[in-house]
Structure 1
Amino acid sequence: MRRHLFRQVGFSRSILEWCTFGAVLVFTALLIANFIWAERRLITASETSRMQTQARIIEENLSHQFQGVRNALDSAREAIVDPARCGGDCQNLLLHALKRAMPGVRALVVLDAEGKIRMSADDMGDRHLDDRDFLSQISQMYSRKLMYLSQPFENTPGVFNIKLSVPILDAGAHNVGAISAILNPEYFDAVMRSALYAEDMNSAITQEDGRRVLFVPANTAAMRSLGAGEDDFLLRHLRGGNATSVLVGLGGDGEKRMVVQRSVAPGDLGLDKTLVISLTRSVDKLHAGWHDLAMSYLLAWCVFAMIGSLALALVQRRRRIAQHLVRAHEAHQAETTERIELALSGANLGLWDWDIPNDSRTVDARANAMLGYPAERQHNTPGEWRSLVNPEHRDELDRVLRQHLHDSSHSFEAEYQM
């Protein structure tokens, strides 16, 4: 009945099978897409959390390193401002001892208000500093609580240093000089490199005005950048006003990158400037894991779709061949039946069909008419037809039947009264 209904509304079994298979493909594709999207979100969230943790670790380590420099500078300042407690030789010895205790510190220098070197513990033996921007800032250092951070200075091509300074004030709180620690890049290099766990990562420390304090791996062009206008990520982070930000965009080289930035307020490190710690990763490399997974699932889905389509097409072809054979057989059988009926009708004979295993008989309308029964009357219960045979003819009928069944070469022909 269902098949008949489908035929009435114009559906075929093959179309329904293809629609069902298509629905299965769409459903599996949606499942795969949902799984891949969830995997992408998981990887992005995990990577973001990891980079934020690394930025926080960098801040903590920088705090310890800056505090170490601050303690050394405070100790040197106490000795400088009280010559009675520590004379010239003592002061010089103290500077050299403090410098040797801090790897990565190129020099400790005592400067007057005009920037001239009064005393130094310097590996290079310099008698003056070439960093005019820093020298011009010495007279503006007035706070005993702050440590002043200079702009990066390129003392030799491709090599930058920064200076951390505390002011020397007289009894009237007037600036009479400063004590500075000149730091080489390797002072922070170990801390910054420890946060890089992938080849495509880089890390940087940037001042609020956009000048780089450090860039790992070393990037001379980035260190020579003069302001925040060249760093879209920094501008977006500062405009957002949050301590931590996660941004995605195009880097200066046109590569799409994810950037985690963390602002460090002056009070957190005891500095006069706000620093921004940044960690970046290539988005393509970051997403490579789920890209590979997506390609594997896509390949498996395509193989499944191809094999399923071929299998369904083969099954439908075999079914069409079988249906064609059935229709041909039915047509032949109908033609044979029609010929028999025409022959019987012409000879005025009745036709009956005997189901031997069930011992039941089916007759046509002509046979019923010859016996005086209605056309639709059938004596087709097992053995019922035998009750219609004259008892005197039953034994002979059984004998002839057994002979026919024993030797099928003999035709079965019997005459009996009903």
Structure 2
Amino acid sequence: MSVSNMTSRRARAQQLTLGVALLVLAAIVVAHLWTEYHRARKSEEERLATQSTIIAQNIELHLASTNQALESILAYAQSQDVMAQIAYLKSMVSAMPGVGTAGVLDHTGRQTASSRPEHIGSDFSRREYFKTVQRAPAAKTLYVSEPYVSAANVYSVNLSRAIIKPDGNFKGMAYATLNTEYFDTLLKSVLYAPDMWAAIVHSDGLPFLRRPRSAGGDHQHSLDNAVFMRHLRSGKHSSVMYDRPASHPQTQVVALRTAYAGELHMDDALIIATGRDTGVVLAPWKRLALLEAGLFILISIAAVICLLVYQVRQHLFDEKEAMAQKALRAKDEDYRLIVEGTTDLVVKMDIQGRYTYVNPAFCELYGAEPAALLGRHFLSMGGGNDADAAAIHLDDVLNPPYFIRYRQRSDTAKGLRDIEWLARPLWGDGDAPQGIVNIGRDISQHVETMNRLQLLAHRDGLTNLPNRNHFMATGDAEVLAARRHGHPLSVMMLDVDHFKSINDTYGHHAGDQVLKALSDILHAGNRIQDVAGRLGGEEFAVLLPHANLANALSIAERVRAAIAENGTVTAKGEVIRFTASIGVASLRDGIESFEQLLQMADEGLYEAKRAGRDSVRTVQDTVPDHARPMAPESSSCPS
């Protein structure tokens, strides 16, 4: 048999042995995890069942003692001395921490006695707990009401006993209201984990109390009612179920127990539920599973690697290592040739941020020789004007995903320049970065171009006022601010009178001069908070924040007068006098948007046009006449 065949057979035998060993190990891991999984579930089920039993037993004792107290109230209810009944009810409530209020209702639902005297005489006939007893009165039955909001604005449950006349007719009822604070303390006392909750639920499925509070509030449980129905239909005193309610992302393990004192004749029962998220309950098991699976994978990988390393000859490894070193040196030389000739900025730094290499383009930009830069911290040269931000970028590149692109404005030998950097870590033989390489590009011209485009997108090219789109967006924002803070907001809309005649007489260049002159007048006459804009053609508008209609009319009249008094001179020395018609509107109820407000000002503008131009008008007539400035009698607009 040849040596190569023997080597091949030995290798296959080693691989087969390793495979069998790993399969046996995997079977052991799976069996152990399966056992631990069921142990964790069983342990938690028993623990939750114990806590629900503690609550249920406490409530059953409370039900029995409250029933005895109600029997005593029934005896006192025969007394005609109301003050004696009140005194007894108060002493009973004081002696029983689980009872909040106790009282007696007659057959009409009127309060005849109560531990809260202020409720005497109140009509509770509409309450469901009264209707339930009234519909089917039974002398021996303890009625457990559905949860409701009491007259004291407390969410509670009533325990009631019917008062029966000697002839068997319904005479009234005695009741005791459960004290929420008492049961709140009881539920909190059994919570042993942050994710655990405990709840008391009426047998109809309505929640009475839950601790800790659920997302839905104090009196919302986190389970579907079907869980409680399944428990009741099972006929068991206690049960453990698993449920995943629609309002909760995790499956829950729930221990339920019916609080129903056997010697009592109760029409309904209270169900105690304690539960936890299975994700939290099984978290230790999941960690164990991940640990054992990880160890199994690591052992498998390590075993395979060791086998492969054993089978690979060392001299092949050495030969490959030598070839790799040679290729690395060639690649490093190619890299140097590229970075020395590029116009991009290329620098290397150690992980402390000190330069270890700078290319000629970087040296030229900062006006320094390489020797003067090497060893210096990057914040002293290329770190930009924001040193804190630059330090953050250095930390970011040394952490996953080990890549960052950022922009900085930096002082250079050529002045302030905007530079876009791309940074990556340099890896050595270990797992930690050994340095950082930064590649930068001067994007100052691009930034300047984008800024100019941004300005052009929001400004009118002729008057340098906000254009229609920008003005409308500003108006929408001012309407929202005025609604939110309750301050007045007005707008005036202007239109140059006989503008077509000006263009026809003096030319379009003169018309442009008129529009510029008008924009200068608006800018000079505005308050600091006012915003003027050109809507198109000879139409302008001015936003007047914090100005009511009277103020706005006064401002508009000043603007109208300033326009009439001024003019412009053409290149030929011709003096052009012009006027403007102005419509004013103020934000009122019924105006839902800035567009509606502007439309109302536009209607005022047309009123001014119809009135002979060179005037100020508004279609809103709620301002007293004495607050509205008078329009001039004549216009100086050239016709």
TM range (shorter): 0.5 to 0.7
Q: CA deviation at 1:124?
A: 6.4
Q: What's the CA shift for 1:156?
A: 8.0
Residue in structure 1 matched with residue 106 of structure 2 by the alignment: 112
Report the alpha carbon displacement of residue 286 of structure 1 after superposing the two structures with TM.
Answer: 0.8
SS in 2 for 1:204: strand
The aligned counterpart of 1:36 is 33
Structure-2 residue corresponding to 1:210: 205
Choose which of 78, 85, 90 in structure 2 pairs with 1:81. 78
- Contact 1:114–1:177 at 8 Å: present in 2 too? yes
Distance 2:10 2:281 in 1: 48
Cα gap change, 1:80/1:25 in structure 2, threshold over 3 Å: closer, same or farther? same
Contact 1:149 1:271 in 2 (8 A): yes
Q: CA deviation at 1:172?
A: 2.4
Q: How far apart, CA to CA, are the structure 2 residues paired with 1:196 and 1:106?
A: 24
User: Residue in 1 aligned with 2:42?
Assistant: 45
Structure 2 regions of 5+ residues with no counterpart?
317-639
Change (3 A) 1:309 1:124: farther
Amino acid at match of 2:28: L
Q: What SS does structure 2 have at the residue aligned with 1:75?
A: helix
Whose helix fraction is larger, Structure 1's or Structure 2's?
1
Q: Which SS does the other structure have where 2:157 is aligned?
A: strand
Residue 112 of structure 1 contacts residue 177 of structure 1 at CA under 8 Å; is this kept in 2?
Answer: yes
CA distance 1:198–1:152, shift in 2 (3 Å): same
Whether the aligned pair in 2 keeps the contact of 1:212 and 1:222 (CA below 8 Å) is no
Look up the match of 1:62: 59
- Asked if residue 17 in structure 1 is aligned to residue 11 in structure 2, the reply is no
Distance 1:295 1:182 in 2: 51
Q: C-alpha separation between the residues in 2 aligned to 1:124 and 1:12?
A: 99
Residue aligning to 1:352: none
RMSD across aligned positions (CA): 3.3
Aligned partner of residue 139 in structure 2, secondary structure: coil
Larger Rg: 1
Q: Deviations over 1:90-138 (max 9, x none)?
A: 3221111001112243211111011100011128656525562123223
Aligned partner of 1:103 among 97, 100, 124: 97
> Is residue 246 of structure 1 aligned with residue 246 of structure 2?
no
Q: How far off is 1:39 after superposition? A: 0.7
Please report how far the alpha carbon of residue 36 of structure 1 lies from its aligned counterpart in structure 2 after TM superposition: 1.2
Which residue pairs with 1:263 in the alignment?
Answer: 258
TM-score, normalising length from structure 2? 0.45
CA distance in 2, matches of 1:42, 1:215: 28
* CA distance in 2 between partners of 1:45 and 1:123 (Å): 52
| Counterpart Cα distance in 1 of 2:118 and 2:152 | 16
Deviations 1:40-82 (A, max 9, x none): 1101011111111222222211111112212222222212225
Q: TM-score with structure 1 length normalisation?
A: 0.66
Closer/same/farther in 2, CA of residues 224 and 93 from structure 1, 3 Å limit: closer
Describe the shift of the 1:196–1:315 C-alpha distance in structure 2 as closer, same or farther (beyond 3 A): same
Task: Tell me, yes or no, if structure 1 residue 153 matches structure 2 residue 148.
Answer: yes
C-alpha separation in 2, matches of 1:320 and 1:29: 35
Aligned residues: 313
The equivalent of 1:415 in structure 2 is none
Query: Percent same amino acid at aligned positions?
Result: 26
- Counterpart of 1:133 (choices 113, 128, 132) is 128
CA distance in 2, matches of 1:163, 1:276: 15
How do 1:289-328 and structure 2 match up within 5 A? 289-317=284-312
SS at match of 1:95: helix
Cα deviations across residues 346-398 of structure 1 (Å, max 9, x unaligned)?
xxxxxxxxxxxxxxxxxxxxxxxxxxxxxxxxxxxxxxxxxxxxxxxxxxxxx
Would the alpha carbon gap of residues 186 and 23 (structure 1) be closer, same or farther in structure 2, given more than 3 Å must change? same
Q: CA deviation at 1:11?
A: 6.5
Cα deviation code 1:216-245 (max 9, x no counterpart)? 22348477779x9x5232233334343332
Residue of structure 1 aligned with 2:183, choices 170, 181, 188: 188
- Aligned-pair CA distance for 1:266: 6.3
2:110 paired with 1:92: no
The offset of 1:257, in angstroms, is 1.1
Structure with more relative contact order (C-alpha pairs < 8 Å, separation 6 or more): 1
For residues 157 and 231 of structure 1, what CA distance do their matches in structure 2 show?
28
Q: 1:157, CA displacement in angstroms? A: 11
The SS at the match of 2:241 is: strand
Q: What SS does structure 2 have at the residue aligned with 1:209?
A: coil
Structure 1 residues 98 and 238: CA distance shift in structure 2, 3 A: closer
In structure 2, what is the Cα distance between the partners aligned to 1:9 and 1:158?
90
Alpha-carbon distance, 1:205 to partner: 2.2
Residue 262 of structure 2 aligns to a residue in which SS? helix
State the one-letter code of the partner of 1:289.
P
